[in-house]
Amino acid sequence: MNAAGGARTIEIGAPRFPERLMRINRKIAMLAATMLLAGTAHAADLPTFKLEMNDGKLNPARIEVPAGQRIKIEVRNTGKGAAEFESVQLRKEKVLAPGADSFVVIAPLEPGEYKFFDDFHQQAQGVIVAK
């Protein structure tokens, strides 16, 4: 009761939950963007090798890479049909439309040879040699 003998009035403000949720969502979005940019910058620092696929021809068919390091292979399909970089040993595959560019990142390799091929043109065989 108040001094005048009446009931006490308690004012309840609007819940602040949506405002707090917005701040949390903003922080999550900023963290995700930072992680994405860090991953992109890290992939750009990898030793990079180029591979051209052209309707059953691989250029180069032999790629020498450093052993014990992650690597990036930039794949370009210059052919008129689809191409697919595939390696059973490396557990990698990447399908490319005509004129498309992409890349695969490969975990550090032990010294040795790792076969790859164009799954749409079985005669196109190549090898990655880790030294």
User: How sure is the predictor about 75, in pLDDT bands with cuts at 50, 70 and 90?
Assistant: very high
Q: What percent of the chain has pLDDT over 70?
A: 67
**Low-confidence winner among 24-28, 45-49, 98-102 (lowest mean pLDDT):** 24-28
Domain range for 24 is: 15-45
Q: Count structural domains, the chain.
A: 2
Residue 76, token pair as written in the block = 């370009």
**DSSP code at position 8:** P
Contact 97, 75 (CB under 8 A): no
Q: Based on the fold, state whether residues 30 and 73 are members of the same structural domain.
A: no
Q: What is this structure's pTM?
A: 0.65
> Is the same domain home to 38 and 53?
no
d(CA 15, CA 33): 29
Q: What average pLDDT does the segment 107-130 reach?
A: 95
Q: What is the pLDDT of residue 45?
A: 84
Q: How confident is the model at residue 13 (pLDDT cuts 50, 70, 90)?
A: low
Instruction: Please provide the average confidence, as pLDDT, over all residues in the chain.
Output: 84
> Does 116 share its domain with 69?
yes
Residues 66 and 125 in one domain: yes
- Those residues whose C-beta lies under 8 Å from the C-beta of residue 129, and which sit 6 or more positions away, are 62, 63, 64, 65, 112, 113, 114
112-123 tens-digit pLDDT: 999 999 999 989
